[in-house]
Amino acid sequence: MSSLVLDNLSYQYNGTAVIENLDLTVAKDEIVCLLGASGCGKTTTLKAIAGLIEAKQGKVFIDGKLVSDEQLFLAPEYRNIGMMFQDYALFPHLTVADNIAFGLAKMPKAQKQQRVDEMLELVHLIGCAKRFPHQLSGGQQQRVAIARALAYKPSLLLLDEPFSNIDTQVRFELIADIRRIIKAQRVSAVFVTHSKEEAFAFSDTLAVMHRGKIAQQGTAEQLFSSPSSKVVAEFLGQGIYLDAEALTATEYNTAYGRVESFAARGSQAQLGQIYIRPHHLLLTAVSIGEEGINTVTIINSRFIGSHYVYKVMIAQQEIEVAAQLDQSFKENDQVTIKIKPHTVNFFAS
C-alpha cells in the first residue's frame, strides 16, 4: 500500500490556480522530493497534504485512508503526519526532552520517558536533554525537530526546506544523518526544496514540479538521463540545445557533426533538438588539416585544481566544459569540439 496518494488535486488562491490536477504517489518507506522553481506550488502541495489548507478538488489518501476530497476534510491532527520546517519551530521555553515529548501527552509517563530516550539516542543528543533550544546549534535544533516529529511514529513525514538555514559546511552531513534517521524509523517522507543538490542527497525519487503539476517523477538518474520534457532537462542541469536531424534510430546530424545515441529515439519525428550537457562534450586541440571544422573559441579558462573549466559558445549558447589537466587552452584559442556518444535526449520540434 502507498503511504501517500494525491489524485487529481487542484487548489486556487483567490481564483488563481496554484496546483492543477496534480497526481503523486509515495511508496511505503520512500522519501520523495518535490523539486521545482520558486512559486511552482511545492509548499502549497505540502500544506494540502498536511491539512493546513483545504483542497476541495481532488483526493488525498494517507496510508490508504481518504483524508480529503470534495466532501471530506480531516484536520492535521487526524492525519498521522509529522512536520519539519526550515525555522525549526521548537518551543523556546521547553527543554529538548520536553520538546520531543510534546506530541506524546497521552502516553503513560514511563513509556513517554523511554520514547524520549530512544529518540535522543537516535539523533545523537543524549547529553542535551535538559538544554533549551537557544543553547543548541542550528543543526542540533533540526535534530530535535526531527526527533519531535518522529516521536509519535507518524505514517508520513513532511519536510519543508528543513536545511536552508543550516551552514553549507555542515548541511550535507546533516542531510545524510536525517536521511539515516528516517530510514531507521521506516517512515515515508515528502521533502520540499528548490535545491537539486539537496534533493539528490536526501531523497529516493524526485518529483519535478512545474506550474502546479508534476512534470516527471523518478530517480535522479532516470530524470537526468531520460527527461520527458525540456522543463525537466533544463531544471536538472546546465546544457544547450542543438538543432538535430535524426538519420537513423540512434544517429543524429548536427551543425557540430554526427552524434551517436546509446538508445533508440522514442519519437517518430525526424527534426528537433537534442539537449547536450557539459560532460557530453570533448574539447581537443585543432589538428592540422581540420582547421575550421567544428571549431569553437575559448571564451575563458579556469583552473580549479583537479581539472580545467572552459567556457565556450556553441550555437549562440554559452556552456562550461570540464577538461583534463593535459588539455590546456587559453582564452581565444580555437579548439575542436566533439559530441561523445551518449543516451541522447531528443525533443521533436
Ligand X SMILES: Nc1ncnc2c1ncn2[C@@H]1O[C@H](COP(=O)(O)OP(=O)(O)OP(=O)(O)O)[C@@H](O)[C@H]1O
Q: How far is the CB of 80 from ligand X (least distance, A)?
A: 23
Binding flag, residue 196, ligand X (CB under 6 A): no
Measured distance CA(342)–CA(325) in Å, rounded:
23
Phi/psi class of residue 46: alpha, beta or left (left: φ > 0; alpha: ψ in -120 to 50)? alpha
Task: Write out the H or E segment, with its range, that includes residue 99.
Answer: helix 96-101
CB of residue 56 to ligand X, shortest distance in Å:
16
* Least Å from the CB of residue 65 to ligand X: 25
User: Which residue from 38, 168, 169, 349 is in contact with ligand X, where contact means CB under 6 A?
Assistant: 38
Stretch that binds ligand X, among 22-30, 36-44, 135-143, 314-322 (CB under 6 A): 36-44
> CB-based contacts of 66: which residues, under 8 Å, 6+ apart?
59, 60, 72
Q: How far is the CB of 7 from ligand X (least distance, A)?
A: 19
15 touches ligand X by CB under 6 A:
no
Report residue 335 as a C-alpha cell: 579548439
Instruction: List the Cα angle 132/138/139 in 5-degree steps.
Output: 105
In the set 8, 28, 39, 279, which binds ligand X (CB under 6 A)? 39
C-alpha cell at 79: 492525519
Rule CB under 6 A: say whether 171 interacts with ligand X: no
Residue count at the site for ligand X (CB under 6 A)?
Answer: 12
User: Which listed residue (5, 9, 18, 104) binds ligand X by CB under 6 A?
Assistant: 18
The rounded distance, in Å, linking the Cα atoms of 277 and 269 is 22
**Closest CB 11 distance from ligand X, rounded Å:** 9
Closer by beta carbon to ligand X, 45 or else 140: 45
| Cβ-based nearer residue to ligand X, 122 or 208 | 208
Region of 39-47, 168-176, 247-255, 319-327 interacting with ligand X (CB under 6 A): 39-47
- The per-residue b/e assignment along 298-330, b for 16 or more CB within 10 angstroms, e otherwise, is beebeeeeeebebebebeeeebebbbeeebebe
Closest to ligand X by CB, 39 vs 341, is: 39
194 lies in the binding site for ligand X (CB under 6 A) = yes
Smallest distance, ligand X to C-beta of residue 291, A: 48
Pick the closer one to ligand X by CB: 38 or 306. 38
Segment contacting ligand X by CB under 6 A, of 12-20, 97-105, 232-240, 273-281: 12-20
DSSP 61: E
Distance CA 225, CA 242 (A): 17
Least distance between ligand X and beta carbon 160 (Å): 8
Sheet holding 317-323, edge to edge: 281-285, 334-339, 295-303, 308-314, 317-323
* Long-range contacts of residues 285-290, Cβ cutoff 8 Å, at least 24 apart: 285/327, 285/329, 285/335, 285/336, 286/334, 286/335, 286/336, 287/336, 290/336
State the minimum distance, in angstroms, from the CB of residue 19 to ligand X: 8
Residues 204-243 that bind ligand X (CB under 6 A): none
Q: Which stretch binds ligand X (CB under 6 A): 32-40, 200-208, 262-270, 297-305?
A: 32-40
Judged by CB under 6 A, the residue of 42, 79, 148, 265 near ligand X is 42
Question: Interface with ligand X includes 40 (CB under 6 A)?
Answer: yes
307: amino acid identity, one letter: H
Binding of ligand X at residue 262 (CB under 6 A)?
no
Residues 6+ apart with CB under 8 A from 102: 91, 94, 148
Which positions ≥6 away from 50 have C-beta within 8 Å? 76, 79, 81, 83, 158
> What SS3 state is found at 21?
strand
* Binding site residues, ligand X, CB under 6 A: 13-14, 18, 36, 38-44, 194
